[in-house]
Each structure stands twice: as structure tokens, then as C-alpha cells.
Amino acid sequence: MTDAAQGEPKQHEVFEKPFKVEPVFSSAQTPASYRRNPGGESLPARIKFWRIQEPEKGTLTVGSVVSRSWGFEDSPDAEILVPGLNFGKESGAVGIGRHANFLQWGFNAPPSQMTEAGRRLFLNCIGYIAKFDGKAPLVRAVSPPREIALLLAGVAPDQAERTFAESVRKEFKGNPKGLRGHLQKHFELIYFARGTFAIDQDLLALGLPSNRKPATLERLITLLAEGKNTPTVQKLLARYTDRKYTTAREWQEWFAQNQGRIYFSDVGGYKFRTILDGYQKL
């Protein structure tokens, strides 16, 4: 990552209190790495940025660190605070982010080399993360987000063939463009299990367009209660949850009790999860 944040600050308290953060904006040519990553083809020719630090005036030095944005916010206790302008990952990669009571500050300069806006933001972030003392993460990363499938298909087709289910490998062997198009068409049905990506043919056959929307889970429970496609539905409920219920009534009661607290996490294992009792997003 460079010395700069990408884009305009979003509406968030870390830019407002206790100190008002007032960035000075510039623009730079869109990095080539952005183009190579999923979604990069639609980016403008130039990217807006503002400096967090300025160890060498007039230049954008590299040495700070970003995290992939993909899957970063797929649990309710994580948030991207500032994307970092970088030359190695995707547009929107995380320069500053929070996961539960952990703060990622990816910039590497000391306060003496920060801009005024950077120093104010640094202090605000310290005050903000203190509010989450004792809040352990809801999710631990155990699998790659589905965007990685698109990335591999676009820039590393040989590796992509090795990391896809056998049926996909056979169908698109030697055809990376076709593979990426197939993944884009069925993006909402990508899942990861036993070290490989696949498209969920079971959900596709049931006419369900996504594996990560609570409405899908609700529909599966309804199908189970109606006695329709029972073996397939039971397989899907086992695939996408860690519940061990055996009857439709148990599933209905669980869903009703947790409605509004259910979320889906790619990085957490491609599972529907529930916000823990006692957890409250501040």
C-alpha cells in the first residue's frame, strides 16, 4: 500500500470525533492491479486519493499493508474504515479496518510523518476501537471468499483448474475465459468445500438464486416442512449450517427465534451463522 487512502471518507464517527478529519484530495492513474482483479474493468481512468502520511513530500511511497476487502465484512462485527491506495491488490482493499476488538492500521509511518488528517484519524481510531474492548470475533477465517474464484480464473487459470471441482475442471479445461464467465453468471451460487470451489447445482435445480441470503435458508426450511425435495433440502441445510436438527419443526423454531440475527459468511466456512447472545454492535 502507498501512503494514501482511496476515495472519499464514508460517513463514520472515526472521521468526526473527537477530531474532525479534513482530507486534501488528489488523483492518480488507476493502478494496473485494479484492472486485473474482479470488477476492475469498470473503474475510471483515475482514482481519487488523500494522504494519511507523507514521509517524502510529492511522492507516493510503498511500504504499508492492505488486506483483501473480499469477505472482510461478511460478519456483522467487521467493517472497512478506509480503503488503501495500493499497487498489488484490488480497488477497495482494506487500509484501516476493524474486526471485533482488533484494529488494523495498515499505514507504517509514525505520527511525526503523518498528515494532519492522518494524525486526527489515528487518534479517532484509537478512541473508537476502545469501545469494543472484550468483544471477541464472531468468525475465524477458514475458507477463501468467492471472489478468489474469479481472480484465479482471470489471472491464474492453471491454478484455478486445480482448485475447482472435477466437473468444472473437465468442462472448462483450457478455457479460462469460459470459466470466468461461468463463475460470473453463477457468482451467488459459488461455494468452497474440501479445498475446491464449485457451483451449487442443488440450489440451481431448486431455482434458488443465492446460497448466502437468509431468504434461501427460509425457503429451504419451508420446502422441508412441505415434504418437497427432502433429501436435497436436508443435504443443503447440512452444507450451509452447523445445525443438527432432524425435523422441520425444529428448523422453523430455530429460524423464528433467530430471524434478524442470521448472517452468512464465506470466510467463516460458507455457513449461515447467528449473532451470539449478548453481542451488540455499537
Residue ranges per structural domain of the chain: 4-132, 141-187, 200-282
* Per-state percent for the chain, helix, strand, coil, to nearest 5: 40, 20, 45
Instruction: Indicate the range of 31-45, 72-86, 214-228 predicted with least confidence.
Output: 31-45
Best CA proximity match to 81, nearest among 99, 64, 61, 108: 99
Contacts 24+ apart (CB under 8 A), 97-102: 97/67, 97/72, 98/128, 98/129, 98/132, 99/72, 99/75, 99/137, 100/132, 100/135, 100/136, 100/137, 100/138, 101/129, 101/132, 101/133, 101/134, 101/135, 101/136, 102/129, 102/137
Query: What is the four-CA torsion angle of 233, 234, 235, 238, rounded to 10 degrees?
Result: 120
Determine the average pLDDT of the residues in 99-115.
96
pLDDT of residue 158: 64
pLDDT, position 202: 97
Per-residue model confidence as pLDDT tens digits over 243-269:
999 899 999 999 999 998 999 999 999
The pLDDT of residue 131 is 94
Residue among 140, 121, 119 nearest 129 (CA): 121
Confidence of residue 28 (pLDDT cuts 50, 70, 90): very high
Confidence class for position 282, pLDDT limits 50, 70, 90:
very low
Lowest-confidence range among 77-81, 149-153, 201-205, 209-213?
Answer: 149-153
Q: Residue 107 above 60 pLDDT?
A: yes
pLDDT exceeds cutoff 80 at 278: no
Least confident of 90-99, 141-150, 162-171: 162-171
Q: What is the pLDDT at residue 167?
A: 80
Instruction: Reply yes or no: is the peptide bond before residue 18 cis, omega within 30 of 0.
Output: yes
Residue 37 · residue 93 · CB < 8 Å:
no
Confidence of residue 152 (pLDDT cuts 50, 70, 90): confident
Strands 190-193 and 78-83: unpaired
**Residue 146 contacts residue 107 (beta carbons within 8 Å):** no
Q: What is the pLDDT of residues 157-190, one digit of tens each?
A: 566 667 888 888 788 877 888 888 999 999 999 9
Does 14 have pLDDT greater than 60?
yes
256/242 Cα distance (integer angstroms): 17
Q: Amino acid identity, residue 29?
A: Q
Task: Summarize the confidence of residues 23-39 as an average pLDDT.
Answer: 93
Q: How far apart are CA 149 and CA 195, in angstroms?
A: 12
Residue pLDDT, tens place only, 196-249: 999 999 999 999 999 999 999 999 999 999 999 999 999 999 999 999 998 999
Q: Would the CA dihedral through 100, 190, 6, 110 be positive or negative?
A: positive
Residues in the chain: 282
